[in-house]
Amino acid sequence: MCLSEAVPTMCQESKKVSNEGNTMKSSKKLEKARPEHPEEIRPNLMRRKPPIFFRFNIQVDMVALTFFFCGLATRFYKLAQPKNIVFDELHFGKYVGMYMKNIFFFDLHPPLGKLLISLAASLADFNGKFKFDKIGSPYDDSVPIFALRFIPALCGSLMIPSAYYLLLELGCRQWTAALGAFLILFDNAFLTQSRFILMEPMLLLTTILGLLFLLKYRNMRHSLGIIWWITLACSMVFLTFSSCIKYIGFSALSLGVVIVWRDFWGILPDKRLSNKQLLFRGLLLGGTMLLIPLSIYIAVFHVHLSLLYKAGPHDSIMTSAFQASLEGGLASITKGQPLEVAHGSQVTLRHTHGKACWLHSHAEVYPIRYTDKRGSSHQQQVTCYTFKDLNNWWIIRRPNKSNLVVTSPPDAIKHGDIVHLIHGITGRALNSHDVSAPISPHNQSAATLTTTCQCLLRIFGK
């Protein structure tokens, strides 16, 4: 028993000694493999490739890309046909021509869509001289038809994949979203609108993109970060673009604002958010939804008014101060005029009771006899004109002065002063005498004379 117990013990001790010997040998080999100096490691490290700090992953949705190219094919195929004015191209083409000539005009809708089409026309060297006078009239060679219809066609093509992504964001399956995009691709109404100078393709594209980013924002509404804010800002930008193309776009913008505030109202009971976090989120949402639409809207009209600095046929509906800021209109009349009414000032006189109208005269004279056989003064007619016109301007002159020049310093007209009114265009003086008026025989007629004025006007006012 003792011998048998001693033999295994000796075997175990011999194994331990052998294992320790092997460990000593391996450690010596490792020490020999290591360099004596750490500088020897540096050349090996220099041979290593530097780490990659930026990496781009490109994923292409072939379904959306196919829809986009199909949209380009259907919208741009023979885009310059027909070579005639179609429907509302009459109006929008006329506005583009006014942009090219910098002539002020007034339209029912905001100017962003017309500005985009005008940009394409300007790049195509359109001079704006073509008159869009009648639907069906042929375009001449000076009109770049393809360039004028380019922006609506491009927006109509981009609308198809945008609608596809919108349906995916709504939770539809890919085949369902593809079916929706397919229906838009081959819909005759969308196809027709996208091939002419119309605002609807731009309006629909910006509305779809705005709603798409709004849905993306809703899916990440519980996270507060830079991507969250950029998504909300993009939504407000595109929805504001739709409002700047047509005022009907304000309905989509209002929908976006209501959805954002409704989501914010839903997170108010969340106890995981502190009061400071809720206040910061609310201020950020309010500032984004107020400042972005307001700044874009003002910027669009600033560009619009900066381009249209010449007087045109529509400036008569604007205020006199605005008309005076346009070249070739009231600016030529009021140039050098004092701010206060003085001798030599050019003024307009407006009727203050009932419908607004301005004291007006022109080169036509009263007939020798009225239709009821009454005699007239046969002098230059004086009427009340309901529209702003150059013939509404009169020059104030003191009775003791013969010239109409504004003196320096100006001879200001004050309360109770007596003045003459000289018609600015014809140079005749306002007159009234004992001759019955053509409309109301019980009143005296008003006319203008080439001789010294017989009618003195007393100024009553502050």
**pLDDT value for 444:** 82
Asked if residue 343 lies in contact with residue 413, where contact means CB atoms within 8 angstroms, the answer is: yes
**pLDDT value for 121:** 96
pLDDT tens digits, one per residue of 210-219:
999 999 999 8
DSSP run (H or E) holding 121: helix 112-123
How is residue 312 written in tokens? 């045109």
Asked if residue 327 lies in contact with residue 309, where contact means CB atoms within 8 angstroms, the answer is: yes
How is residue 192 written in tokens? 């027709």
Q: Is the pLDDT of residue 60 over 90?
A: no
Mean pLDDT taken over the chain = 84
Identify the CA nearest to 377 among candidates 318, 451, 319, 310.
451
Out of 71-80, 205-214, 297-306, 439-448, pick the least confident: 439-448
Q: Is the pLDDT of residue 25 over 70?
A: no
Is the peptide bond between 161 and the residue preceding it cis, with omega within 30 degrees of 0?
no
**pLDDT value for 13:** 47
Q: Is the pLDDT of residue 126 over 50?
A: yes
Report the distance separating Cα 60 and Cα 57, nearest Å: 10
Asked if residue 103 lies in contact with residue 72, where contact means CB atoms within 8 angstroms, the answer is: no
Q: Which of 85-99, 267-281, 404-418, 445-459 has the highest mean pLDDT?
A: 85-99
In this prediction, residues 53-63 reach a mean pLDDT of 79
Q: Is the pLDDT of residue 34 over 60?
A: no
Q: Which residues does residue 84 pair with via DSSP β-bridges, in sequence order?
A: 138
pTM for the whole structure = 0.75
**pLDDT value for 224:** 77
**pLDDT value for 51:** 61
Q: Is the pLDDT of residue 434 over 90?
A: no
pLDDT tens digits, one per residue of 323-340:
878 888 776 777 777 778
Q: Which residues, including other chains, have CB under 8 Å from residue 298's CB and lie 6 or more apart?
A: none
| Torsion of Cα atoms, 78 then 84 then 88 then 92, to 10° | 90
Q: Is the pLDDT of residue 17 over 50?
A: no
Report the distance separating Cα 382 and Cα 439, nearest Å: 12
Domains along the chain? 62-306 (no CATH), 338-458 (2.80.10.50)
CA 251-162-114 angle, to 5 degrees, is: 60
Report the distance separating Cα 431 and Cα 447, nearest Å: 5
Integer CA distances (angstroms), 393 to 43, 199, 436, in order: 91, 39, 25
In this prediction, residues 451-459 reach a mean pLDDT of 50
Question: What are all long-range contacts of 119-126, with beta carbons under 8 Å and residues at least 24 apart?
Answer: 119/151, 120/147, 120/148, 120/150, 120/151, 121/96, 121/147, 121/148, 123/147, 124/148, 126/96, 126/97, 126/100
Residue found under tokens 């100078």: 197
Which sign, positive or negative, has the C-alpha torsion 77, 83, 84, 85?
A: positive
Report the distance separating Cα 175 and Cα 162, nearest Å: 15
In the structure, what pLDDT confidence band is assigned to residue 238 with cuts at 50, 70 and 90?
very high
**pLDDT value for 67:** 97
Asked if residue 220 lies in contact with residue 175, where contact means CB atoms within 8 angstroms, the answer is: no
**pLDDT value for 29:** 47
Q: Is the pLDDT of residue 9 over 70?
A: no
Q: Is the pLDDT of residue 12 over 80?
A: no
Q: Which residues does residue 381 pair with via DSSP β-bridges, in sequence order?
A: 447
List phi, psi (to 5°) of 437: -75, 155
Q: Which residue has the higher pLDDT, 222 or 60?
A: 60
Report the distance separating Cα 200 and Cα 203, nearest Å: 5
Asked if residue 436 lies in contact with residue 368, where contact means CB atoms within 8 angstroms, the answer is: no
**pLDDT value for 225:** 83
How is residue 437 written in tokens? 């008026």
Q: Is the pLDDT of residue 384 over 90?
A: no
DSSP category for residue 412:
B
Is the peptide bond between 441 and the residue preceding it cis, with omega within 30 degrees of 0?
no
Report the distance separating Cα 184 and Cα 193, nearest Å: 12
Strand, helix or coil at 435?
Answer: strand
Q: Which residue has the higher pLDDT, 375 or 413?
A: 413
Q: Is the pLDDT of residue 2 over 80?
A: no
pLDDT tens digits, one per residue of 366-376:
888 888 878 77
**pLDDT value for 110:** 95
